[in-house]
Amino acid sequence: MQNKIIFYFIIYSFLGWCLESVYKTIIFKKPTNSGFLYGSFCPMYGIGAVMMIVLSKLSDNIIIIFLLSFVLFSVWEYIVAVILEKCFKTKYWDYSELKFNIKGRICLKNSFYWGLLGVILIYAIQPIVERLTNLISEQILLYISILLCIIISLDTIITITKLIVIDKKIKQIFEIGEAIKEKLAELKESTHLEKKYKESIQNIVEELKEKQNLLKFKIYKRIIRLKKSFPEMKSDNITKFMMQKISLEDIKNKISEYRTKKR
């Protein structure tokens, strides 16, 4: 039974990713690879589905299943939102514009959909998944579960590691920007200084610009990936960074020009 629960978690993490991606593709009218992780899994759905499958054993009544799903998934969505906001200082979804919302993290409309999804899960999807799972031997099921859990775990570690450094790197980018301003001001005021000293300052400025552009290039790609997955994402640091109207092509050209000069 334990192997099956783990396998259900993996299956519904994948199906949740599919549902979320299709939904956002329709809503935003452009292909959207949704999900917090890089891979095609949304553990939030997997954990929620497993909890619902376990709790559904308490009753066969469709109304109770609907209400249970309504409450369970809403509370789980709220908890996940709080965890993500606290850990990464970023709001990945916001229902503030919808009626009957709680701090923009959950809303009545979505909770109603959660209730429907729970009913569909228990009465339509889970019986099929359970039958198909029973066709797989316990040993093979164990190997598949272990392999996919390792993949999801590695994906989670990589994703979290990259997200943690985003704020640090954005702060570093602006610190380098201030250092460049200081050096340029120093250069402007150094009309009486030797040519060699001016060239030294110019070289420092160019090196700082290259370092800043490299950081911008790496961070911008990560933020674009997040923005595609969570178009409603809100973060003060990311908003400040994106206000610079950065172009990846421009950054690549600047880096290439600096390296050409340096040769």
Digit-coded pLDDT (tens) for 109-127: 999 999 999 999 999 999 9
Which pLDDT score, from 0 to 100, does residue 193 have? 58
Domain co-membership, 9 together with 121: yes
Domain co-membership, 31 together with 135: yes
d(CA 253, CA 251): 5
Domain co-membership, 11 together with 122: yes
Could you give the 3-state DSSP secondary structure of residue 234? strand
Last residue of a domain, one of 153, 183, 200: 153
Which pLDDT score, from 0 to 100, does residue 130 have? 94
> Which of 1-5, 163-167, 188-192, 202-206 shows the lowest per-residue confidence on average (mean pLDDT)?
188-192
> For residue 159, is it within any domain?
no
Domain co-membership, 12 together with 124: yes
| Structure-block tokens of residue 118 | 């729970």
pLDDT of 222 over the 70 cut: yes
Counted domains in the chain: 2
Domain span holding position 233: 165-262
CA distances in angstroms from 124 to 8, 11, 117, 131, 171, listed in the order given: 15, 15, 10, 12, 49
Which pLDDT score, from 0 to 100, does residue 245 have? 61
Which pLDDT score, from 0 to 100, does residue 160 have? 84
> For residue 248, is it within any domain?
yes
Domain co-membership, 84 together with 189: no
Domain co-membership, 54 together with 173: no
Last residue of a domain, one of 100, 120, 153: 153
- Say what percent of the chain tops pLDDT 70: 88
> Which of 57-71, 93-107, 243-257 shows the lowest per-residue confidence on average (mean pLDDT)?
243-257
CA distances in angstroms from 70 to 52, 81, 88, 105, 130, listed in the order given: 10, 17, 27, 15, 23
d(CA 12, CA 7): 9
> Which of 106-110, 223-227, 243-247 shows the lowest per-residue confidence on average (mean pLDDT)?
243-247
Q: What is the pLDDT of residues 63-100, one digit of tens each?
A: 999 999 999 999 999 999 999 888 888 888 889 888 89
Contact, 1 vs 141, CB < 8 A? no
pLDDT of 24 over the 70 cut: yes
CA distances in angstroms from 114 to 15, 102, 109, 158, listed in the order given: 15, 15, 9, 29
Which pLDDT score, from 0 to 100, does residue 51 have? 95
> For residue 149, is it within any domain?
yes
Last residue of a domain, one of 153, 183, 206: 153
> For residue 256, is it within any domain?
yes
Which pLDDT score, from 0 to 100, does residue 172 have? 86
> For residue 158, is it within any domain?
no
Sequence-ordered strand ranges (E) for 66-199: 101-102, 106-107
> For residue 160, is it within any domain?
no
Phi, psi of 107 (to 5 degrees): -150, 160
Most confident of 9-13, 177-181, 225-229, 243-247: 9-13
Domain co-membership, 98 together with 180: no
pLDDT of 263 over the 60 cut: no
> For residue 171, is it within any domain?
yes
**Average of pLDDT values for 135-140?**
90
Which pLDDT score, from 0 to 100, does residue 44 have? 92
> For residue 132, is it within any domain?
yes
Name the more confident of 148 and 251. Answer: 148
Torsional sign, CA 47, 51, 56, 62: negative
Domain co-membership, 44 together with 133: yes
Domain co-membership, 148 together with 173: no
Which pLDDT score, from 0 to 100, does residue 8 have? 95
Domain co-membership, 127 together with 182: no
Domain co-membership, 172 together with 145: no
Which pLDDT score, from 0 to 100, does residue 260 have? 61
């704020």: which residue's tokens? 167
Domain co-membership, 149 together with 55: yes
AA identity, residue 43: P
